[in-house]
Amino acid sequence: MKFELTEEQGLIQQSARDFAKEFLDPVAADLDRTGEFPTAIVKELAKHDFLGLHLPADAGGAAAGFVSYIAAIEALSRSCSAVASIVNNQAMSSYAIYHWGSADLKKKYVAPLIKGEIIGAFAVYEHGPTPGIGPDALTATKQDGGYVLKGTKAYVRNAGVANVYVVFAITDPADPKALTGFVVDATAPGLKVGPKHSTMGLKGCPVADVVFENVAVPEGAVLGTVKKGREIVTRTLALASIAEGAQTVGIGQTAVEHAAGHARERVQFGKPVGTFQAVQTLLAESKTDCYLARLALFNAAQLVEDGKPFETEAAMLKSFLARLGSKILLDTCQVEGGMGYSETMPIPRLFRDIAGTNLLDAPADFPDGVIAASIN
Amino acid sequence: MPKCLVCYKWTLDEQDIRVNPDDLSLDTSRAKAKISDFDRNAIEEATLIVEKHGGSVNALSYGTPDVKQSLKDVLSRGPEKVYWIAQSGAQTSDAYVTANVLAAAIRKLGQYDLILCGEGSSDEFNRQTPVRLAALLGLPCVTYVEKLSVEGDTIKATRRVADCSEVATVKGPVVISVLNQINKPRIPTLKQVLGAAKKPNEEIKIADLGLKPESLQPKSARKSVKGFVTKRKKIVYKEANAAANVAKLASSLAAEGLC
């Protein structure tokens, strides 16, 4: 057993860190303040192959593998998790279309998504308790030559800037659990994006509801098989949850390093505060949590790369980080005291971003069901 | 179309080096290695020249067996091929030995129009290797270059000297050492990183260079290395008023020979 990145994976991680230092560090605080979508950075991400990192060469991707993807997401998140979140959402869209889309859908969308020419969004959630159940659930009614979509998708990331939406709808009202995937162009008549939600964190990554008012789509817009969309949702969200784990580890690592720097520099009672045991405990526990989370993170990523079952490990990672991600930020903020609480320091932004990372896409309690089901 | 060779050093990343507060010794046990900073500028400049004018870029490095870890990194940054010379104990080599080894390897490889080096290495920054290399090869050397252009067979180099810039023109073959102002090294795209594995590398055995044993004996030896830590005197002046405090400060600085 060897827990070490390969040479290529290490170089990709280093490239991502270099990219983050050059392009993300200078703008991360501004993105958090303005909430503007970083169009120019997305172009640079594409230019450096980050948007197609996970996809094979025949799709135009870098074919770097899932471990490299996770290493890159962690490295980007150390500077700006909002941008990492945009990359993750772009990856969810391109992954779903590449794996389940028809040849026409792949041809139309995958290469432009990889090149950053278009933005993708993966829209699953609704205002009801679960997709398919609720007054405004997205339905797809069969009509000649295609379907008519009606309903609302909630909390869609990349909403408003996305050119293409991967959405899931009920095609059989008698069977609301059976979802069908559709690929919908943002210019489709009747597709409307609601007001942008003012979110707590990940502010450069827009979140809004997407309303479908009798949006007609052709038969060819179906992703995979009719009524088999839940398989696409489950697998794509499980992969995304590992990437969100990478975001959390990246944010946590930055918080620990910043707090450690503060503990070295800040002198109280004639000594750096890092020499006090109470401060050492906060830093030691935070570093330990990051270390253990990273082991679980890369173990889950390696399972994906090896084509082995990974859903339980991904769920355990998500559950672990939901509990410890915020604790790392609380403890590192405590190390920095009043200075850490100030918006002039990065800890408040990291705090907001880690909350967004843990809450969006899969609520913190969702993974427990997956884990419980794996226990005989 | 210029035929370029870039010499680079695989060195420890100074950001990872910790200073032991007890004796100021350096802890390098967790330090990662990297291509020396100014050498990255040299690699980038050679790559830019070839992208603009055609030609070729090769890279060459001499170091401990760890130098092998640098091959994919350097190849992802533009060079088509890398030559490497590994020698156990090379960490004690000074600029004299390094220049002897690099010059012997270059003689073996054949003529290059442009041999580019970083002005100094990230770890020691002795700034000797480029000039020693040029002397050994009998080539002209232009140092402290912050701007470079190739016009036909003429190379125009702008040098940053003490308080002004100086423009030199020279015909190849020539050794040029560059400053970090010359360019901004690119971040390799992920396809370039992965494509580096397909590019060739070739080991040159030090025994095949025909060097005499004395050419591999350093002229200087490092006795010890210690971290530099700013020590504050923590003197507080508690005179009756500001003017008296300033006067006291001035006399203290004068006593230290600082004003």
Contact A91, A237 (CB under 8 A): no
pLDDT band at A370 (very low <50, low <70, confident <90, very high): confident
Q: How far apart are the first and last CA of chain B?
A: 56
What is the pairing mode between strands B18-19 and B26-27?
Answer: antiparallel
Q: What is the pLDDT of residues A222-272, one digit of tens each?
A: 999 999 999 999 899 889 999 999 999 999 999 999 999 999 999 999 899
Q: Does B187 contact A62 at a Cβ distance shorter than 8 Å?
A: no
- Establish if A351 touches chain B: CB-CB under 8 angstroms: no
C-beta contacts of B91-95 below 8 A and 24+ residues apart: B91/B63, B91/B64, B92/B218, B92/B221, B92/B222, B93/B62, B93/B216, B93/B218, B94/B126, B94/B218, B94/B219, B94/B220, B94/B221, B95/B126, B95/B128, B95/B129, B95/B132
The ipTM, to two decimals, is 0.86
- What is the assigned CATH class of domain B3-216? alpha beta
* CA dist., res. A29 & res. A14, Å (int): 22
Within 10 Å of residue B251's Cβ, how many Cβ atoms?
11
Q: What residue in B sits closest to A13 (Cα-Cα)? A: B190
Contacts of B74 in chain A (CB under 8 A): none
For residue range A115-144, list pLDDT tens digits in order.
999 999 999 999 877 777 778 899 999 998
Give Cβ neighbours of residue B87 (< 8 Å, ≥ 6 apart): B62, B63, B64, B65, B93, B101, B206, B216
Q: CB distance B194–A8 less than 8 Å?
A: yes
Within 8 A of B69 by CB-CB distance, chain A residues are 7
Q: Percent of chain A beyond pLDDT 90? A: 82
Give the A:B interface size as CB pairs under 8 Å: 43
Largest CA distance in chain B: 76
pLDDT at A362 over 60: no
Does any CB of chain B come closer than 8 Å to the CB of residue A49? yes
B residues 38-97 lying closer than 8 A (beta carbon) to A: 69, 72-73, 76
Within an 8 Å CB–CB cutoff, is residue A22 touching chain B?
Answer: yes
Q: Closest residue of B to A14, CA-based?
A: B187
Report the 10 Å Cβ neighbour count for B56. 16
d(CA A106, CA A111): 8
Question: Rounded to a whole number, what is the distance in Å from the CA of A73 to chain B's nearest CA?
Answer: 13
Nearest to A48 among B69, B190, B197 (CB): B190
CA distance A16 to chain B (A): 9
Please check whether residue B231 touches A, CB under 8 A. no
Short-list B95, B84, B66, CA closest to B201: B84
Interface test with A, best of B30, B67, B76, B190 (most A CBs within 10 A): B190
Q: Is A148 on the interface with B (CB under 8 A)?
A: no
Q: What domains are defined for chain A?
A: 7-114 (1.10.540.10), 120-227 (2.40.110.10), 230-373 (1.20.140.10)
> What does DSSP assign to residue B203?
E
Distance (Å, whole) CA B197 – CA B194: 6
The reply to whether residue A15 touches residue B187, judged by beta carbons under 8 angstroms, is yes
Which residues 59-88 of chain A have a CB within 8 Å of chain B? 62-64, 68, 72
Q: Compute the distance between CA of residue B192 and CA of residue A47 in angstroms, rounded to an integer.
A: 11
- Residue A150's CB is within 10 A of a number of other CB atoms, namely 18
> What is the structure's pLDDT at A298?
97
Average pLDDT over all residues of chain A: 93
Q: Taking CB atoms and an 8 Å cutoff, what residues of chain B touch A15?
A: 187-190, 193
DSSP B70-85: GHHHHHHTS-SEEEEE
B18 contacts chain A (CB < 8 A):
no
Neighbour tally for A308: CB within 10 Å: 9
Residues of B in contact with A8 (CB under 8 A): 72, 193-194, 197
A11/B76 touch (CB, cutoff 8 Å), yes or no: yes
Q: Residue A54's closest chain B neighbor by CA? A: B190
Q: Is there a contact between B69 and A11 if contact means CB atoms under 8 Å apart? A: no
Q: A-contacting residues of B 203-222, CB under 8 Å?
A: none
Q: What is the pLDDT of residue A364?
A: 47
Alpha-carbon distance A314 to nearest alpha carbon in chain B (angstroms): 25
In this structure, the number of other CB atoms found within 10 A of the CB of residue A197 comes to: 14
What's the pLDDT tens digit per position in A296-306? Answer: 999 999 999 99
Between chains, do B194 and A22 touch, taking CB under 8 Å as contact? no
Q: How many CB atoms sit inside 10 A of residue A291's CB?
A: 13
What average pLDDT score do residues A345-374 get?
82
Q: Render pLDDT for A18-32 as a digit per residue (tens, 0 to 9).
A: 999 999 999 999 999
CA distance, residue B257 to nearest chain A CA (Å)? 28
Bridge pairing between strands A164-170 and A179-185: antiparallel
Shortest CA distance from A69: residue in chain B: B190
Instruction: Give B188's contacts in chain A (Cβ within 8 Å).
Output: 11, 15
CB contact under 8 A, A7 and B194: no
Q: Which of B69, B72, B189 sits opposite A8 (nearest CB)?
A: B72
**Could you report the per-residue pLDDT of A33-70, keeping only the tens digit for each?**
999 999 999 999 999 999 999 899 999 999 999 999 99
- Could you tell me if A75 and A13 are in contact, meaning their C-beta atoms sit under 8 angstroms apart? yes
Per-residue pLDDT tens, chain B, 259 aa: give them: 899 999 999 999 998 998 888 889 999 999 999 999 999 999 999 999 999 999 999 999 999 999 999 999 999 999 999 999 999 999 999 999 999 999 999 999 999 999 999 999 988 888 999 999 999 999 999 999 999 999 988 999 999 988 899 999 999 899 999 999 999 999 999 999 999 999 999 999 999 999 999 999 999 988 888 888 777 888 899 999 999 999 999 999 999 888 7
Distance separating alpha carbons of residues A248 and A367, to the nearest angstrom: 16
> What is this structure's pTM?
0.89
Are B191 and A7 in contact (CB < 8 Å)?
no
Asked if the C-beta of B187 comes within 8 angstroms of chain A's C-beta atoms, the answer is: yes
Taking the CA of residue A49 and the nearest CA in chain B, the distance in Å comes to: 6
Nearest-Cα residue of chain A relative to residue B77: A15
Q: How far apart are CA A296 and CA A290, in angstroms?
A: 10
Q: Which residue among A7, A22, A47 sits closest to B189, beta carbon to beta carbon? A: A47
What is the token pair recorded at A10? 């290490």
Give dist(CA B96, CA B93) in Å, integer: 8
